[in-house]
């Protein structure tokens, strides 16, 4: 059995913790592990192979977290941008033998009670071997309006239902044969592709062309943008599961959450910040900056999420509306949806310390043996001051070492590169000065990571 882990989502419902370049599945909130890492650890013992399908921009983040927990995966399929789950799963199915069992799991779910989890998977395998497209229905614990529901008759699916309002969710719970739609599936690769071809032929053909014209680099398969953009944006539910007559559902009793809101998150982690309360109770606090004190007077039932560039304050029970807030931010503050002030790159990280008109100051950390792209800028000069480690600097045809407490200067338009030839991280402060200091003022001439 091959476990296909879908890890390309953006996780907007946990903004401002989750951003496009640091979505919720990679946030290390659970005993210093991410949902992505916990998914890997949970499924490796059950699977013969692990295949990760992700966004091109998130590959290095995923790869770093895989290495961090010492798991060897069998490959990546990288999409230039998302076209929903039906196509992503098709790519996975096309990469294996038609009789291979595929266990499809999102990377951002939290699952407990692994004994019941294993039992559900074993039953799903039996059904899938007989040609079923198997989904996992989670026994509801409350009338939750944030999940889709599956109406079932034993292991037979009667109907899929969209996310209900509170009253309808209460009716589903009372009837007893309605289950939360987990978004996990198990089936033979060939069965899925045949059903996809039957019920969504346009999507099948466009995904097939995209797969056949993809580019392979070792264990990485990259889908090219010109073929990806021709694929319809449709979920597996709409494309296949709601139309096929081969659907089966395993009623499942393991503890499950998609951690789709801060209300849900607070059930699994404790407040992680220094705070003082006066006449305040039942509040949840989380801050990226553990040195910052949060003090409250006379407030109850709030969720307070603090990051370096944004502060969210919401009533408990209302955090599903973060998705609506993100919609407004796309117009008013789109930069706050893309990245934190600390950004992960394949060579390390950078953190914006200060930014104003005409200048920007960053803290940069370069991993041992890694180097930035060979590049130039049209609108800024750069000053580099090494804080620790030893950097190798290339400017034009010149190469030289810059050690701790030493600095160098790169003029606007000069071709340059920073490398770390040592055994420890290089940490430096970069001061950019110029009329424009945006991240898109980079012309890459050569790059170890094949970025454009």
3-state secondary structure string, 416-447?
Answer: EEEECCCCCCEEEEEEEEECCCCCCCCEEEEC
* Centroid of chain to Cα 400: 38
Average pLDDT over residues 298-312: 95
pLDDT band of residue 452 (cuts 50, 70, 90) is confident
CB burial of residue 43 (10 Å; 0-12, 13-18, 19+): buried
> Reading across the β-sheet that carries 407-410, which strands appear in turn?
342-345, 348-356, 359-366, 426-434, 380-388, 407-410
- Provide the pLDDT for residue 144: 84
The region of weakest confidence among 209-223, 281-295, 340-354, 368-382 is 281-295
Q: Report CA dihedral (52, 59, 447, 227) to the nearest 10 degrees.
A: 70
CATH 3.90.550.10 matches 2-260? yes
Q: How far apart are CA 432 and CA 437, in angstroms?
A: 7
Q: Are 247 and 132 in contact (CB under 8 A)?
A: yes
For residue 292, give the DSSP letter: -
Per DSSP, the three-state class of 390 is coil
Average pLDDT over residues 335-347: 90
- The model's pLDDT over 249-263, given as tens digits with 9 standing for 90+, comes to 999 999 999 998 999
> Is 385 a residue whose pLDDT tops 90?
yes
pLDDT band of residue 9 (cuts 50, 70, 90) is confident
- Provide the pLDDT for residue 237: 94
- Provide the pLDDT for residue 10: 76
User: What is the pLDDT of the chain when averaged over all its residues?
Assistant: 94
- The model's pLDDT over 96-128, given as tens digits with 9 standing for 90+, comes to 999 999 999 999 999 998 899 999 999 999 999
- The model's pLDDT over 120-154, given as tens digits with 9 standing for 90+, comes to 999 999 999 999 999 999 999 888 888 899 999 99
- Provide the pLDDT for residue 236: 96
Give the residue among 122, 165, 128 at the shortest CA–CA distance from 147: 165
CA distance readout (Å), 438 to 330, 333, 433, 441, 449: 18, 15, 11, 6, 21
DSSP string, 208-264: HHHHHT-EEETTEEE--HHHHTTS----HIIIIITT-S-EEEEEE-SEEE---SHHH
Parse the chain into domains and list their residue ranges: 2-260, 263-321, 342-446
- Evaluate the omega torsion of the peptide bond into residue 60 and state whether it is cis, within 30 degrees of 0: no
Per DSSP, the three-state class of 304 is strand
Give the class (CATH, top level) of 342-446: mainly beta
What is the residue whose two structure tokens read 């160098």?
408
pLDDT band of residue 215 (cuts 50, 70, 90) is very high
């Amino acid at each position: 059995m091959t476990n296909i882990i879908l890890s390309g989502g953006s996780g907007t419902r946990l903004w401002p913790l989750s951003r496009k370049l640091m979505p919720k599945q990679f946030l290390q909130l659970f005993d210093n592990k991410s949902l992505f890492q916990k998914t890997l650890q949970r499924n490796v013992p059950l699977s013969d192979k692990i295949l990760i399908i992700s966004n091109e921009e998130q590959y290095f983040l995923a790869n770093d977290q895989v290495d961090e927990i010492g798991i060897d995966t069998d490959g990546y399929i990288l999409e230039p941008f998302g076209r929903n789950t039906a196509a992503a799963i098709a790519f996975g199915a096309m990469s294996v033998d038609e009789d291979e069992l595929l266990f499809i799991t999102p990377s951002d779910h939290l699952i407990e009670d692994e004994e019941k989890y294993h039992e559900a998977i074993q039953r799903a395998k039996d059904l899938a071997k007989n040609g079923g497209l198997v989904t996992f229905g989670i026994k509801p614990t409350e009338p939750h309006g944030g999940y889709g529901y599956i109406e079932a008759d034993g292991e037979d699916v009667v109907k899929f239902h969209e996310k209900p309002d509170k009253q309808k969710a209460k009716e589903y719970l009372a009837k007893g044969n309605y289950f939360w739609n987990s978004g996990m599936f198990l089936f033979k690769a060939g069965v899925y592709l045949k059903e996809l071809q039957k019920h969504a032929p346009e999507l099948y053909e466009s995904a097939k062309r995209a797969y056949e014209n993809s580019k392979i680099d070792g264990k990485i398969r990259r889908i090219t943008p010109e073929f990806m953009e021709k694929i319809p944006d449709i979920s597996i539910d709409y494309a296949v599961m709601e139309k096929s007559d081969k659907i089966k559902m395993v009623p499942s009793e393991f503890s499950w959450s998609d951690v789709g809101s801060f209300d849900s998150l607070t059930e699994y982690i404790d407040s992680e910040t220094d705070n003082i309360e006066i006449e305040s109770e039942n509040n949840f606090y989380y801050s990226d900056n553990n040195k910052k004190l949060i003090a409250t007077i006379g407030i109850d039932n709030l969720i307070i999420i603090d990051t370096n560039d944004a502060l969210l304050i919401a009533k408990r029970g209302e955090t599903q509306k973060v998705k609506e807030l993100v919609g407004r931010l796309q117009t008013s503050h789109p930069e706050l949806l893309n990245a934190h002030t600390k950004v992960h790159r394949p060579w390390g990280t950078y953190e914006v310390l200060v930014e104003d008109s005409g200048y920007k100051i960053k803290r940069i950390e370069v991993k041992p043996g890694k180097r930035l792209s060979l590049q130039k800028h049209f609108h800024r000069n750069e000053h580099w001051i090494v804080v620790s480690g030893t950097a190798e600097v290339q400017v034009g045809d010149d190469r030289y070492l810059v050690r701790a407490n030493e600095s160098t200067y790169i003029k606007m338009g000069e071709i340059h590169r920073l490398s770390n030839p040592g055994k420890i991280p290089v940490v430096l402060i970069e001061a950019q000065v110029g009329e424009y200091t945006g991240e898109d003022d980079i012309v890459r001439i050569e790059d170890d990571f094949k970025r454009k």
